[in-house]
Amino acid sequence: MIRAPPQAAAGNLAYGASVTVTAGRHQPYFGPGRLTNGITDRFDLFLGYPAKPEPLVIDIELAPIAEVARIRVHEIAVGGSWEDYRVLVSSDGERFEKVGAAVRGQRGDRPFLEHRFDRRPVRLIRIETRGCEDFTFPSFSRLTEVEAFDS
């Protein structure tokens, strides 16, 4: 799999992190490792399914645990389509707290959303997605990158 050079992902605490799809599946060539490879291009996407009727669940493990205050989630951002997801974090892998969610029209012209919250220790970032709405086959997830920052 192709990765951005480390200097291109400077400050991104999720760069190179292990990604596991804990509920749902993914297309092998467009696997979950693409979500932390440092490439935010819409053609370097994760293709996961099904995201309906139950959400597709993606866990990103930060090693070691890191202080996080902001998570940026990139998506394919084609026209008015939008990824319907929630962002949760956990310091212990057992208790998760919601720190963000996507809402129709919130993204605007940007290919990403930033979710800011009080800085805290994070071991796992969990994305629970219901797919890419207003796009062909909405039960598929088409996220491209998840980044985490300490400020």
**How far is Cα 16 from Cα 107, in angstroms, rounded to an integer?**
25
| Threshold 0.85, pTM exceeds | yes
Once rounded to an integer, what is the mean pLDDT over residues 96-104?
95
CB 12 within 8 Å of CB 6: no
Cβ-based neighbour number of residue 47 at 10 Å? 20
| Residue 65 pLDDT | 97
Phi-psi region of 126 (alpha: psi -120 to 50; beta: other; left: phi over 0): beta
pLDDT at 2 over 90: no
Considering the chain, what is the average pLDDT of its residues? Answer: 93
Q: Cα(first)–Cα(last) distance of the chain, in Å?
A: 29
The whole-number average pLDDT for the span 71-82 is 87
Q: Report phi then psi at 88, rounded to 5.
A: -125, 155
